[in-house]
């Protein structure tokens, strides 16, 4: 084989390997939306740092189909129109084409979100849950397919809730690691009423730093302003907040708190956050006190008076947790050896 042909084969092989590696790094994205070329641009960073012309990808039929599959897998109850996932599925092609046309012509309008109250884990209180109608959940899922990678690329490492490849197990594992490293003083808090009190204008400002497609921004705002419908109270406006239960809501919640994540990371504070629940682990009590004050100051600067750490955030000595963390790690290692888990 000539040197020229060998070079061509080597280049082709490397190109294939690069493509496979790219796909592996972004295995969770919807590849019918995010092409290899788009993913490379995402990784390199685009000129100006903002993404334009995204709405056509939202209403692409294949993406709407992907959105429906996500909704179908999660099932869930009907919204205020009474339409079930099964009923939508019965006329799936027609429904998706109708949604695509409405989005293309800008005639799409989301319905109000059905609000129900469900028990709050570990409490006598109840928390609100929003149930959008099925067609709105489909569009939200398609919209999330398009915009989530843009924000996920830059999310801080200490955020674990509602993110691809991350969850409560990874969050607990990180807490255990930090305890073993001697970070015994723990700020333990949550943000009371977080999802219901996110300021719309500030949230849209944060989104607008990365997305410049006016129609996508308008679509997001339409969800925030759709209002809620409750059986006894009727329709209520939603001047702030993003209803828990919406497909897009967890992503929006993470976008809002990402600045706080980076604020603490920049000063070397070790936070582990899962949505509106978080801990900050420190080596000394005075560091924990300063961390709590920094968080409160950030909340005040954001102008979000209702964002208060619920039920008195606790600063505690977590040194007694280390022994339990070590025991949990040993049990995991034993289980891994027993079942041949070499990860």
Condensed to tens digits (0 to 9), the pLDDT of residues 166-178 reads 999 999 999 999 9
Query: Tokens for 265?
Result: 């990371």
What mean pLDDT, rounded, does the chain reach? 86
Give the integer Cα–Cα distance in Å for 253 and 130.
Answer: 14
CA dihedral 139, 142, 146, 149 (to 10 degrees): 120
Summarize pLDDT for 179-219 with one digit per residue, the tens: 999 999 999 888 878 888 899 999 999 999 999 999 999 99
Q: Inform me whether the pLDDT recorded for 60 exceeds 60.
A: yes
Give me the pLDDT at residue 320, please.
61
43 compared with 333, residue with greater pLDDT: 43
The runs of H, that is alpha helices, within the chain are 3-25, 36-44, 55-58, 61-74, 85-90, 92-104, 134-152, 168-180, 194-197, 200-208, 214-224, 249-266, 285-301, 321-338
pLDDT of residue 322: 53
Please say if the pLDDT value at position 234 is more than 60. yes
**Higher per-residue confidence, 11 vs 67:** 67
Cα–Cα distances (Å) from 247 to 141, 186, 227, in that order, read 6, 32, 16
Checking if the pLDDT of 332 tops 90, the result is: no
User: Would you call 199 helix, strand, or coil by DSSP?
Assistant: strand
């Amino acid at each position: 084989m000539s040197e020229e042909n060998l070079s061509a084969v080597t280049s082709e092989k490397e190109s294939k390997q690069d493509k496979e590696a790219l796909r592996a790094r972004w295995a969770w994205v919807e590849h019918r939306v995010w092409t290899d070329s788009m993913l490379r641009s995402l990784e390199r960073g685009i000129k100006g740092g903002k993404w334009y012309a995204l709405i056509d990808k939202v209403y692409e039929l294949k993406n709407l189909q992907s959105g429906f599959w996500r909704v179908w897998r999660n099932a869930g109850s009907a919204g205020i129109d009474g339409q079930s996932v099964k009923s939508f599925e019965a006329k799936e092609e027609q429904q998706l084409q109708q949604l695509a046309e409405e989005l293309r012509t800008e005639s799409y309008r989301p319905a109000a979100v059905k609000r129900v109250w469900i028990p709050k884990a570990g409490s006598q209180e109840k928390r609100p849950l929003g149930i959008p109608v099925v067609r709105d959940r489909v569009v939200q899922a398609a919209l999330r397919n398009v915009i989530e990678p843009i924000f996920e690329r830059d999310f801080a490492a200490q955020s674990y809730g509602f993110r691809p490849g991350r969850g409560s197990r990874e969050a607990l594992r990180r807490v255990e690691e930090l305890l073993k490293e001697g970070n015994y003083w723990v700020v333990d808090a949550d943000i009371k009423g977080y999802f219901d009190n996110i300021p719309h204008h500030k949230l849209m400002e944060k989104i607008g730093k990365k997305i410049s497609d006016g129609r996508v921004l308008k679509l997001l705002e339409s969800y925030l302003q759709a209002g809620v419908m409750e059986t006894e109270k009727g329709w209520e406006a939603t001047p702030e907040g993003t209803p828990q239960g919406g497909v897009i809501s967890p992503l929006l919640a993470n976008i809002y708190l990402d600045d706080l994540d980076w604020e603490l990371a920049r000063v070397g504070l070790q936070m582990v956050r899962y949505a509106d629940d978080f801990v900050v682990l420190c080596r000394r009590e005075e560091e924990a006190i300063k961390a709590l004050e920094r968080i409160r100051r950030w909340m005040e600067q954001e102008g979000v008076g209702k964002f208060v750490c619920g039920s008195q955030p606790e600063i505690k000595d977590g040194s007694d947790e280390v022994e339990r963390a070590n025991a949990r790690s040993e049990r995991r290692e034993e289980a891994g050896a027993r079942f041949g888990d070499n990860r």
